[in-house]
Amino acid sequence: MMSEIFLMKNEEDIRVHELDYLDIMDTGPELEFDELTQLMAEIAEVPTCLISLLDNRRQWFKSTVGLDVEETPIEWSFCQYTIRQDDIFEIEDSLLSSLVRYSPLVTGPPHIRFYAGAPLITSRGVSIGSICLIDYKPNKLNALKRKALLALSHQVVKLIESRVMSRNYKKEFAYSLEQKQKLDKLNSVKDKLISIITHDFRSPLTQLKSYVSLLNADMLDEKERKQVISSLDDHLSHTLALLDNLLYWSRMQMEGFKVYPRKVMIREMLEEVYHLFHIQVLEKGIHYEVHVAQDLIAYADADMLRIILRNLLSNAIKFTRPGGSILLQARQTEGQIELVIKDDGVGVSSDVLNQLMQEGVSITTPGTQLEKGTGIGLSLSREFAKANNGSLDIESEAGKGTRVRLVLKHQQG
């Protein structure tokens, strides 16, 4: 007796697992199933036909004709006996059956007298329920009706399993589409990298090579040598800044990025960043002013903030005419730090500004002395500002200069 109970419990677990895999329980009405139950009721000439599925506690009806009920306890069901059969299970008169005569479905509404069910056996050999016929008077199926009931049980199983195939196909299609999008994105990043390396790095690297050649030729006096070394240092710093932009941008495109915020002294970082560009500022004769308190603190990822400031200052210098001016101001307001970089350079038109402010758009134009950029600096800065719960806004007018406003948090929280 104990081994029989264990066997039944094991079969129940297998059935529940199969139903979970098929994902059919408690799904909504579907026309294909309803058409089969309607057809079978008409062929068998009975008032009720059901598609019944059994888990470990109830029988639930996927489709019903002639019976307005969604489920019943498994102990009341006739189908609990059908799922143990390989063929049709039939009760001609329930009042004469020792198995079901005391079922509440017999002794009370709907007062079932006749039952015939064909098991629903999946392609993996698991019986999950039945398609069954019910009458409220004694009845008996002839050979043709039995054949039809068995055939339709196979069709019900195919319908149920086709839903899984469709679901898996959709998942595979979605996965394939996702992989294609990832591949397209990687190809786009690759093309962008090749374009930047080919065009924007070639010029500064060529210039660096020229400087090194001049030094190696040993044809310069001490003053000229110092000037070349200074220019070499400047170009090298600029090229490294471009490379940092490129590496951060490519990593962000392919892997995303993590933010590690901490307290950052704004004035100190601005001085560090300015050191990279001071030669360009001097060469262009730019009037450079900084009105930022020494103790002003922002709460942000230091590496990201350094790149933001480097890009913003680089752009300001790039588009400021020789003899022009750049002003940096910062203030603390309501838990935020507002940093403004303002220049009186060439500015940009409203059309170009609109393009610059669009998500994912990277464009570049030559500076006042034909300086080049990667075209990703501003886009990268905007992404980094957003990642640090800040914002980056630009106001510009062609011929009148540009005002960039960077807002960051002042403290954690």
Helices 377-387 and 302-318 meet at what angle, rounded to 10? 150
Q: How high is the pLDDT of residue 132?
A: 95
* Domain contains 92: yes
* Domain contains 242: no
* Domain contains 268: yes
Domain shared by 267 and 164, yes or no:
no
Q: How high is the pLDDT of residue 370?
A: 41
Q: How high is the pLDDT of residue 207?
A: 63
- State which of 169, 186, 208 marks the end of a domain: 169
The parts of the chain modelled with pLDDT lower than 70 are 1-9, 185-186, 188-208, 211, 214, 217, 228, 230-231, 233-235, 237-238, 240-242, 244-257, 353-376, 412-413
* Domain contains 264: yes
**Cis peptide bond N-terminal to 110, omega within 30:** yes
- State which of 121, 143, 169 marks the end of a domain: 169
Domain shared by 265 and 117, yes or no:
no
Q: How high is the pLDDT of residue 88?
A: 94
Q: Count of H helices and E strands in the chain?
A: 11, 13
- State which of 169, 195, 215 marks the end of a domain: 169
Q: How high is the pLDDT of residue 7?
A: 45
pTM to 2 decimal places:
0.47
First-residue to last-residue Cα distance in the chain: 65
* Domain contains 254: no
* Domain contains 228: no
Structural domain harbouring 69: 2-169
* Domain contains 188: no
Q: How high is the pLDDT of residue 373?
A: 44
Domain shared by 20 and 127, yes or no:
yes
C-beta neighbour count of 15 within 10 angstroms? 20
CATH of the domain at 57: 3.30.450.40
Q: How high is the pLDDT of residue 265?
A: 92
Domain shared by 16 and 142, yes or no:
yes
**Which segments within 236-324 are labelled E, that is strand?**
261-265, 287-291, 297-301
Instruction: List pLDDT tens digits, range 265-281.
Output: 999 999 988 887 887 88
**Considering its fold, how many domains does the chain have in total?**
2
* Domain contains 243: no
Domain shared by 16 and 143, yes or no:
yes
Q: How high is the pLDDT of residue 6?
A: 40
CATH of the domain at 333: 3.30.565.10
Q: What is the spatial distance between Cα 364 and Cα 374, in angstroms, rounded to a whole number?
A: 7
